[in-house]
């Protein structure tokens, strides 16, 4: 059993997740901030294959397997060692992304996608998952406004795909009410940040002093 605290952040593209996580990380000097797919060299290499706009021929199952492979490497090489050292790990996306995007939106089935991920993560799950909920229309508008942001292969999917991603997340919130907490991400950055930090602090307080 690791002594650290594993917290993940989820949500559709454009929810502002990355901005908020960066702000949260600043509040905890010793926290490890990382992201999926990627976070370490091998996983970043897999990430560039998955998200390459030229890879239009990629089959959905290949996509799901690559995400799971990147997840495995990231977990073993970076997340677990940090948790074993008692650190708080803040991770931008984890297995729920695969369940919502590949399982639900791509139609592979959430249970099927969980099965291949089980092989990768051996049932290692976060203690808290914060889900930033936003209408896909608003999320896509935010992405288009953020000119500095790199557009990847999944951003190019149509609105219907992003609507399905959101439905997938809603199913997950229903299924894992003790682990996943939904935050309305349509508000200002300040509002969303305040709600997020409250949840993180409550989780850390629950675990007692370090
Ligand atoms: P990224 O640029 O990190 O997006 P964001 O900043 O919105 O998190 O790209 C990651 C993309 O990969 C994003 O569109 C979601 C998708 N994704 C999956 O489809 N399945 C997964 O398991 C993960 C981790 C990400």
Q: Where are the alpha helices (DSSP H) in the chain?
A: 17-27, 41-51, 60-74, 80-84, 95-98, 110-121, 136-145, 159-175, 189-206
146 lines ligand 1 (CB under 6 A): no
94 CA distance to ligand 1 middle (Å): 9
Is 142 a pocket residue for ligand 1 (Cβ < 6 Å)? Answer: no
Structural domains in the chain, sorted by start = 5-206 (3.40.50.300)
CB 98 within 8 A of CB 129: no
- What does each of the 210 residues of the chain score in pLDDT, given as a tens digit? 578 999 999 998 888 899 999 999 999 989 999 999 888 999 999 999 999 999 999 999 999 999 999 999 999 999 999 999 999 999 999 999 999 999 999 999 999 999 999 999 999 999 999 999 999 998 888 888 876 777 788 777 888 999 999 999 999 999 999 999 999 999 999 999 999 999 999 999 998 765
Burial readout 68-87 (b: 16 or more C-beta within 10 A, e: otherwise): bbbbbbbbeebbbebbeeeb
Burial (Cβ within 10 Å: 0-12, 13-18, ≥19) of residue 43 = buried
Place of tokens 């935010």: 142
Answer yes or no: is 19 a known binding residue: no
Nearest CA, atom 7, ligand 1: 13
120 Cα to the center of ligand 1, angstroms: 17
CB 15 within 8 A of CB 131: no
Cα of 87 to ligand 1 centre, how many Å?
Answer: 24
- 141 marked as part of a ligand binding site: no
pLDDT score, position 122: 97
């Amino acid at each position: 059993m690791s002594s650290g605290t594993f917290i993940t952040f989820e949500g559709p593209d454009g929810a502002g997740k990355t901005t908020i996580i960066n702000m949260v990380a600043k509040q905890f000097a010793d926290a490890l901030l990382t992201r999926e797919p990627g976070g370490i060299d091998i996983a970043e290499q897999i990430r560039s294959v998955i998200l390459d706009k030229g890879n239009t021929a990629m089959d959905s199952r290949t996509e799901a397997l690559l995400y799971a492979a990147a997840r495995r490497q990231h977990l073993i090489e970076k997340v677990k060692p940090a948790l074993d050292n008692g650190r708080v790990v803040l991770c931008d996306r984890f297995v729920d992304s695969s369940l919502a995007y590949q399982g639900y939106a791509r139609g592979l089935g959430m249970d099927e996608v969980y099965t291949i991920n089980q092989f990768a993560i051996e049932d290692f799950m976060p203690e808290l998952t914060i889900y930033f909920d936003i209408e896909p229309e608003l999320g896509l508008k935010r992405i288009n406004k953020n000119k500095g942001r790199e557009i990847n292969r999944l951003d190019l999917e149509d609105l219907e795909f992003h609507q399905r991603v959101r439905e997938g997340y809603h199913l997950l919130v229903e299924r894992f009410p003790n682990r996943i907490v939904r935050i309305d991400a349509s508000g200002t950055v300040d509002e969303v940040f305040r709600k997020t930090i409250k949840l993180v602090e409550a989780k850390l307080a629950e675990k007692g002093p370090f």
